[in-house]
Amino acid sequence: MTVRMRTGQAAPGIDAAAAGGTVARDMAFLAPDAVAAALAVDPATGLDPGEVRARAARWGPNALRARPPVPAWRRLLAQFADPLVLLLIVAAAVSAGLWLREAAAEGQSGLPFESLAILAIVLLNAAIGTIQEARAAQAVAALRRMSAARARVIRNGTRQEIPAAELVPGDVIRIEEGDAIPADARLVRASALLTNEAALTGESVPVPKGAHPEDALPKDALPKDALPKDALPKDALPKDALLLDRRAGGETDPAEPRTMVFSGTTVSAGLGLAIVTATGMRTELGRIAGLLEETTDEVTPLQTELARLGRRLGLAVLAIAGVLAVTIVLADHIRTLPALLDTLILAVALAVAAVPEGLPAIVTAALSLGMLRMARRRAIVRHLAAVETLGSADVIASDKTGTLTRNVMTVRTVVTASGRSTPGGPPAGPDGPLRSELRQALLAGALANDAVLQEREGGVAIQGDPTEGALLVAARTAGLGAEARRFVRLAEIPFSSERRRMSTLLRETGGPSCLVAVKGAPDVVLARSSRERVGGRDRPLTPERRDAILAANAALAGDGLRTLGLAHRAVPEGEATAPDDRIEQDLVFLGLAGMSDPPRPEAREAVARARAAGIRSVMITGDHPRTAAAIAAELGIASDGTALTGAQIDAMAPGALDEAVRRVSVYARVAPAHKLQIVRALQRNGLVVAMTGDGVNDAPALKAAEIGIAMGVTGTDVSREAADIVLADDNFATIVAAVEEGRAIFANIRKVLRYLLSSNLGEVATMALGVVLAPLLGLAAGPGEVVLPLLATQILWINFVTDGAPALALAVDPVDPAVMKRPPRPRGEGVLTGAMAWSLSFIGIVTAACSLFVFDACLPGGLVAGSGTLAYAQTMTFTTLVLCQLFNVFNARSAEASAADGLFKNRWLWGSIVLSLLLQVAVVYTPVLQQGFSTVALSPGDWLFCAGVASAVLVLEELRKAVARARRSAAPGA
């Protein structure tokens, strides 16, 4: 694709430039200075607040247009899309029509209360469904806002981090390895910058970028005289414009601007400073067919499984309802249209009530409310599916720095040729050489550095990498601030986890030559050094000295310190060209810095909690094996003092890693590629892996892991994009908290399922057995008459009262601490297990038995003779069934534990029960509802009788659980 910028309309500076008569049509082909001038900004200081406000007012937020939300009325209408519901409405309407015709013929007045009650309940149900869905949607939207992109800008002379949406044209942005580029921008500085433009072009080959077109290309691919300057209209270019042509290298379009970076693409390596040329919908990304922000709803495996379950249940219920209707019609000799219609309504009402149609919305609500709860515990879930998988995690493989440790670095020791010293403290040993070596080493550390110290009240704050910040602080404490400022940076080669080092090329003001300052992993820096600094002199590095330095390094690491090697080299001015690996050779080794990074106090406890929950914690780090082992021992991850290194993994025979990952819990000196190998090996052992990562190259491992976890504070945008979960505080303990929440959410979904399915089964069984056992119960109906335990309206009411509020309340049941005492849920275990199916069938049958017993006892004849009317018996049965379901709420809270455990923990549950009871009282005593639902008033004794019988649902299930618990503790190995 040709990504050609025409920023004329996009940037106000261009307007200004045009008004001033300058031709500035295409940012890509201007020199950096001209770009800055055209956009009216100084790249060193950025825009000032007033200018930002003005530009924001003019150009609006830097955001893609979102798809308009679905209006509430359409969501409400969608609730009626269920064919069963439609059938019910049509049947109720026809029935009402017939009633009205008959009433008119017979000269009666009044209203078809039954049909109206049905319609009212269907409407109410739809309204509740809409509200449940809206609540779930709100929760999802809140999570989206939390994971909004951020951008690093220079404004008003200082570096800041702002929400990417607040960027304006002319803003100066800093982009680094792993960043998602927040807007279209023109580079004014770049070092070793490569971007991945797959989002725009579909090609994921890294594209070299530069402030000047020729920087961005391999030198030999750009024969200057081969540039077809006439590829563009001459007047389109200012005289000093630099023209970029990849066609000169062979394949692509002449206008492809290597000097531009584009919104939506990412930085694969290097860093750059750029001026924003276009924001929001005016970026290339925004322009691609007026792209709208995607808000597709994600469907998780659990939701798919539940939808499948719902469909199967629906079919089963339909079949039962059909058989029931046919039986009634045949047994009761039903022939008239109104009676047939009544039977149809009854069957459909039963089907509507028995299908847990609220389940998808309740599950979405449980998932998204659970996600909000996780977010409060600082784990932001990007994919709903991760919530489910979290509960199955067997291994948490975590980075060390910042996740298990605090990432608050302090330089404790510097080891130079003449000995050890403590920055800030009195130098040990003879003052002379040691002091000068320390100063040289710390100076190199401060110069090969991208962090910034900002004065704050009560001290300094570090902006940038804490490792680098610690070196700056140490240099400052040693009084090297002024000396460091004498050096002007010409170029740099940034740090990456693969290179494990960083270098800068500097010119000393007034000095004779240039300097290369290098810091990095000690073995890497030492391998590139040929001499070492001793006092004021450089001496060749002998093999003995190399061994001694490596031994000193191992000793520092053994104390749990993170170590860095420091080196420099003077370069004659003429040789100070753009840096590549070659300048990092023949270095003078200056010393080792040992930094402490204390373990997070909460991490140790989190490791123990994870272990109790059957989850193994594994540490993976780029640091020295000894540092890793020392910290791992402190945290309780492993105590054998060993670590498997990346080099050892490389040397392993195929298959050996699969065996090793079973016992090794500490990995050191690993590159991101090893992380992927470790994940895969763990997975081949059948384990579900949660893996953390922060760098751009961690993305493959994050994607491969079942649960990829990125760092919200120090992580790159690329890693966050690849992850399922982002930790807002980069903290290991947060992962364990998220696992707990994930398990709790899954447990709650099971509670809802247990409740809804057992309750609905109770309703269906009551009706089906009521028909089958009619002779036994003494239900002698006249021909053409339907006598059943419950009426259609009553069934719908039960569904409305009990499926709504109590089910939702179960979905938000508080976390039960016991979830972290159990092993992970086996992978592939369905949401509905065999044991659950048994227990809910048991409850369903008990419910039906209770209701039918009450029905029989209230009517003359049958097994238990009573003396009530049919309306009375139906009201009693109706009330018993409702009470059974309310008792059943307590059953559903746990598969094994007694309902008495944590009985009062969920106030929503109690609220929903009180609400349901009040509604039942209303339907029994209010005249209008009595007419609609054919109920009669009950006496307090009646209520007590119903409640007494209904409590059997709770008592019998408690007994069943007690037996199950006793069996389990008696089982061998328990």
Q: Considering the complex, what minimum distance in angstroms separates the CB of residue 832 from ligand ATP? A: 40
Stretch that binds ligand ATP, among 31-39, 79-87, 414-422, 513-521 (CB under 6 A): 513-521
Question: Site for ligand ATP (CB under 6 A): which residue of 132, 300, 467, 716?
Answer: 467
Stretch that binds ligand ATP, among 169-177, 304-312, 389-397, 465-473 (CB under 6 A): 465-473
Task: Considering the complex, state which of residue 401 and residue 912 has its C-beta at the smaller distance from ligand ATP.
Answer: 401
SS3 146: helix
What does the per-residue mask of binding to ligand ATP show for 485-504, with x meaning CB under 6 A?
Answer: ----------x-x--xxx--
Task: Considering the complex, state which of residue 133 and residue 399 has its C-beta at the smaller distance from ligand ATP.
Answer: 399
Task: Considering the complex, state which of residue 268 and residue 303 has its C-beta at the smaller distance from ligand ATP.
Answer: 268
Q: Considering the complex, what minimum distance in angstroms separates the CB of residue 524 from ligand ATP? A: 8
Rounded distance, CA 709 to CA 707, Å? 6
Asked if residue 137 lies in contact with residue 813, where contact means CB atoms within 8 angstroms, the answer is no
Q: How far apart are the first and last CA of the chain?
A: 64
Asked if residue 669 lies in contact with residue 626, where contact means CB atoms within 8 angstroms, the answer is no
Q: Is 465 exposed, middle or buried (0-12, 13-18, 19+ CB in 10 A)?
A: middle
In what helix (H) or strand (E) does residue 102 lie, and over which residues does it extend?
A: helix 83-105
Phi-psi region of 730 (alpha: psi -120 to 50; beta: other; left: phi over 0): left
All residues at 6 or more sequence positions from 105 whose CB lies less than 8 Å from its CB, including other chains: none
Any contact of residue 674 with ligand ATP (CB under 6 A)? no
Report the site for ligand ATP in 340-399 (rule: CB under 6 A): 399
Report the site for ligand ATP in 629-668 (rule: CB under 6 A): none
Q: Considering the complex, what minimum distance in angstroms separates the CB of residue 653 from ligand ATP? A: 26
Q: Considering the complex, what minimum distance in angstroms separates the CB of residue 493 from ligand ATP? A: 11
Any contact of residue 469 with ligand ATP (CB under 6 A)? no
Question: Site for ligand ATP (CB under 6 A): which residue of 623, 717, 730, 813?
Answer: 623
Q: Considering the complex, what minimum distance in angstroms separates the CB of residue 665 from ligand ATP? A: 14
SS3 173: strand
All residues at 6 or more sequence positions from 475 whose CB lies less than 8 Å from its CB, including other chains: 442, 443, 445, 446, 481, 484
Task: Considering the complex, state which of residue 564 and residue 809 has its C-beta at the smaller distance from ligand ATP.
Answer: 564
Residue nearest to ligand ATP (CB): 622
Stretch that binds ligand ATP, among 304-312, 514-522, 602-610, 870-878 (CB under 6 A): 514-522
All residues at 6 or more sequence positions from 187 whose CB lies less than 8 Å from its CB, including other chains: 32, 193, 209, 210, 211, 259, 260, 261, 272, 273, 274
Q: Considering the complex, what minimum distance in angstroms separates the CB of residue 151 from ligand ATP? A: 22
Catalytic residue list contains 399: yes
Q: Considering the complex, what minimum distance in angstroms separates the CB of residue 635 from ligand ATP? A: 12
Report the site for ligand ATP in 558-617 (rule: CB under 6 A): 562-564
Stretch that binds ligand ATP, among 190-198, 463-471, 581-589, 603-611 (CB under 6 A): 463-471
Question: Site for ligand ATP (CB under 6 A): which residue of 152, 439, 519, 616?
Answer: 519
Stretch that binds ligand ATP, among 189-197, 350-358, 619-627, 771-779 (CB under 6 A): 619-627
Asked if residue 644 lies in contact with residue 668, where contact means CB atoms within 8 angstroms, the answer is yes
Task: Considering the complex, state which of residue 258 and residue 500 has its C-beta at the smaller distance from ligand ATP.
Answer: 500
Rounded distance, CA 419 to CA 683, Å? 47
Asked if residue 383 lies in contact with residue 147, where contact means CB atoms within 8 angstroms, the answer is no
Question: Site for ligand ATP (CB under 6 A): which residue of 622, 625, 708, 824?
Answer: 622
DSSP codes of every residue in 784-842:
T----SS-HHHHHHHHHHHHTHHHHHHHTPPPPGGGGGSPPPPTT--SS-HHHHHHHHH
Question: How many residues in total does the chain contain?
Answer: 974
Q: Considering the complex, what minimum distance in angstroms separates the CB of residue 630 from ligand ATP? A: 13
What's the distance, CA 667 to chain centroid? 26
Report the site for ligand ATP in 396-425 (rule: CB under 6 A): 399-401
Size of the site for ligand ATP (CB under 6 A): 20
All residues at 6 or more sequence positions from 49 whose CB lies less than 8 Å from its CB, including other chains: 155, 156
For 440, 848, 866, 882, the CA distances from 853, given in Å and listed in that order, are 93, 8, 11, 15
In the numeric block, the tokens 């369905």 are attached to: 830
Question: Site for ligand ATP (CB under 6 A): which residue of 465, 508, 586, 634?
Answer: 465
Pairing of strands 395-399, 616-620: parallel
Q: Is 238 exposed, middle or buried (0-12, 13-18, 19+ CB in 10 A)?
A: middle
All residues at 6 or more sequence positions from 393 whose CB lies less than 8 Å from its CB, including other chains: 615, 688, 689, 690, 706, 707, 739, 742, 824
Q: What are phi and psi of 193, to 5 degrees?
A: -85, 125
Task: Considering the complex, state which of residue 367 and residue 564 has its C-beta at the smaller distance from ligand ATP.
Answer: 564
Catalytic hit among 171, 179, 399, 698: 399
Q: Considering the complex, what minimum distance in angstroms separates the CB of residue 410 from ligand ATP? A: 15
Q: Considering the complex, what minimum distance in angstroms separates the CB of residue 716 from ligand ATP? A: 12
Interaction site with ligand ATP (CB under 6 A): 399-401, 465, 467-468, 495, 497, 500-502, 519-521, 562-564, 621-623
Active site amino acids = 399
